Structure 1
């Protein structure tokens, strides 16, 4: 959670209290800039922790942004989306072959061998990592990794994104005060 402290609120009210709606403009612009930072940094921070490409994060991400306004000084971002096929992470072999499949989802962990899994191109499903549930051929099931929302819930990713957004909010308050004092309203 990113917050504006009481000291920051008091400082803005002290400096801009005499200008109509100026404190609210400072806060909603600051909050919205913080939301933009979360939105832009989330993919980068996920890629620092997980073995996945940006295009695979973006294609499976569902992000709802509720921006702040002068009447409602709070914003929110919700991440959602479907689980991502395991083939989008680091998989060896990455093409259909008859070898034991090794998978690495997190960068700080080594690859894990999946004994009963195989890489195949099953037509409508495309290339993926599959596992047979029984001895019958028709019982294959595709394996998936975490969704973007689950990756964002990772403590390491969340801390990095929150730190970047909090830094933006702290800098942006000073910038917004300067803008209003210089006549850019």
Structure 2
């Protein structure tokens, strides 16, 4: 979990500017938090896609937002989801030797022992793996989940710093907007 907070200098500036209307500072903070909550998923998807081969829509779809209000000045973004099937990533090979799967953008596809693909009677065409030594049962292998990708320390730190900077800029903008609206 990452905690993003307001810059103390900006809070002091807001208090002095809105001493006549203290509730406006809370409303400005809530508006800044909510605007940050709509901005961050785009940044999350962008940083996840820098490292993993995954669609931005899949990342954004896995995110749930809890918005802030003037009474509750906290917001959160929660990523939920199951592991993604290997068909979501880049798959190749299989003619000679094991099939190869590429999950990360860097590097080469890695061989997966026992992975094969052929058309099945029910219409599924994709990678499968035997569970035991017998022909059946088969299972569809999976890669990492989107919460695992988003929670990667490398990715987490990149968009976290950017989100805090965006929140502080937005808070200043909201304070200026409310000040000019109240006092012309």
- Name the TM tier (shorter chain): 0.7 to 0.9
In 2: Cα distance, 1:124 partner to 1:167 partner: 51
Unaligned runs of 5+ in 1: none
Q: Deviations over 1:31-64 (max 9, x none)?
A: 1111112222222221111012234445xx4322
Range moving further from structure 2, 160-169 or 66-75 = 160-169
The question of whether the paired residues in 2 share the 8 Å contact of 1:52 and 1:90 is answered with no
How far apart are residue 20 of structure 1 and its match? 4.1
User: What are the residue-to-residue correspondences of 1:44-123 with 2, within 5 Å?
Assistant: 44-58=46-60, 61-93=61-93, 98-99=95-96, 100-122=98-120
TM-score by length of 2: 0.86
Report what 2:129 is aligned to.
131
In 1: Cα distance, 2:124 partner to 2:7 partner: 50
Equivalences, count? 180
Let me know the Cα RMSD of the aligned residues. 2.2
Unaligned runs of 5+ in 2: none
In 2: Cα distance, 1:66 partner to 1:37 partner: 14
How far apart are residue 123 of structure 1 and its match? 5.6
The question of whether the paired residues in 1 share the 8 Å contact of 2:66 and 2:77 is answered with yes
The question of whether the paired residues in 1 share the 8 Å contact of 2:7 and 2:168 is answered with no
The question of whether the paired residues in 2 share the 8 Å contact of 1:80 and 1:149 is answered with yes
**1:155 equivalent in alignment to 2:153:** yes
Report what 1:143 is aligned to.
141
Over 4 Å off, 4+ runs: none
- Please give the secondary structure, in 1, of the residue aligned with 2:181: coil
In 1: Cα distance, 2:25 partner to 2:104 partner: 43
**1:28 equivalent in alignment to 2:26:** no
TM-score by length of 1: 0.86
